[in-house]
Amino acid sequence: MNNNDDWFLKFIVLTTIFIFLFGIFIAHSIGAESCEYDNQTTSTMQGTVESVIVKDKTVTEYFRETKKCKVIIKAKVQGKWYVTSEDYIFTPDMSENEACQNAVNRAKERLLQEFVPETLESTKNLNCQVRDLTKQRIECRIETLNVVMPGLGLQEVKLKQCNR
């Protein structure tokens, strides 16, 4: 055997291995079920804000047409008073009162997250789609052709044809 024959033999062997492995991959992908996790978590605070006093409220220009409302509140949670601050950035289509109320709500949420126990309830489901067995099965056939290749002469080539 000369170098051209060795090269061609290696080419045929590697091509055959590649086609075989690709076929196994495709067969596995067709028969595999597709699954996704569905995760739902519910959070419940085990306390309330009993009272709120807005100590300070300032609205300032922020960036271009946006403004920022910063509030400092004093709130009673589980019988104790706490002081915290929060801000809310808003655009001209929102009123200052609404933006500052959003800042107060953020401040109250922060206090609850810091000082009140929280109950988390989580549900995870695995949803799988089973492949449809009523669909037509893909069938393939292999045809052998004799082809004259420059420098290699007459060669036998296998052609795989599948219905889709």
**What distance in Å separates the CA atoms of residue 84 and residue 73, rounded to the nearest whole number?**
6
103 close to 88: Cβ distance less than 8 angstroms? yes
pLDDT of residue 26: 66
100 close to 109: Cβ distance less than 8 angstroms? no
pLDDT of residue 14: 81
**What distance in Å separates the CA atoms of residue 91 and residue 93, rounded to the nearest whole number?**
6
E strands, the chain, in order: 34-45, 49-61, 67-77, 80-90, 118-129, 140-149, 153-162
For residue 54, how many other CB atoms are within 10 A of its CB? 15
pLDDT of residue 30: 54
Q: What are phi and psi of 121, to 5 degrees?
A: -125, 120
Residue with the bigger pLDDT between 130 and 22: it is 22
Q: What are phi and psi of 63, to 5 degrees?
A: -150, 125
pLDDT of residue 88: 96
Q: What is the pLDDT of residues 18-57, one digit of tens each?
A: 787 777 666 555 555 567 777 788 888 888 899 999 999 9
At residue 143 the predicted structure's pLDDT band, cuts being 50, 70 and 90, is: confident
37 close to 52: Cβ distance less than 8 angstroms? no
Which pair of tokens denotes residue 100? 């500052």
Residue with the bigger pLDDT between 106 and 140: it is 106
Q: What is the pLDDT of residues 59-111, one digit of tens each?
A: 999 998 999 999 999 999 989 999 999 999 999 999 999 999 999 999 999 99
Does the structure show a pLDDT above 70 at 4? no
